[in-house]
Amino acid sequence: MPNLVLLRHGESQWNLENRFTGWTDVPLSPKGEQEAHEAGEKLKAYKFDKAYTSVLKRAIDTLQIVLKISGQEHLPIEYDKALNERHYGALQGLNKAETAVKYGDAQVKLWRRSYDVPPPSEVTELNPMGISESLKDTAARTLPYFESRILPDIKDGRNILVAAHGNSLRSIVMQLDSLTREQVIELNIPTGVPLLYVYDKAGKILEHKYL
């Protein structure tokens, strides 16, 4: 039975600083590197046929650490921006607590967790193109990629590891777990903790759990 493991990158430097990160390419924090090591230890018991990741450093570095610790450094890897974190628009780089003081906790939770409400898209130094994505927008690029590239591997019986980001993975989990828009607001995927999905030969999910 094929396995799919979804892994959010370890804590990044801006996770540590409580800042909105989005597409900003920040490194892992020391704690994030340790979380990746721990994930690698947990995944020693699993042998993968292929890995997928985003083009952002924090996900790539997490994957590389996991593969080294689990003894699978020569695994084929596919990199694609479809798995990137959602773009946080004008919020990128801002401290989350300070933003909540300015706009209110409810508004910031809506921007962070809702399905179809994007953050402000004003042009800033860290958002020169005026981009902003809701979870719905993120899913519009992540899910077609998952369905066209990753799911066929699983249906062919391959074991797959995906190292990505909180919101790109939330969009995938929302579909895999058949979550409603209301349920996904409360969904938080922890950093550095592998989430295992076990499939049957027909491509149906038998079970899922955090390792």
Known catalytic residues are: 9, 85
Give the separation between CA 211 and CA 205, rounded to whole angstroms: 16
Give the separation between CA 50 and CA 60, rounded to whole angstroms: 14
DSSP three-state, residue 151: helix
Q: Name the amino acid, one letter, at 99.
A: T
Give the separation between CA 21 and CA 95, rounded to whole angstroms: 10
Burial 107-117 (b: 16+ CB within 10 A, else e): ebeebbbbbee
Give the separation between CA 14 and CA 156, rounded to whole angstroms: 38
The CA distances from residue 140 to 8, 123, 157, in Å, are: 19, 23, 26
DSSP three-state, residue 199: strand
Cα first-last separation, the chain: 17
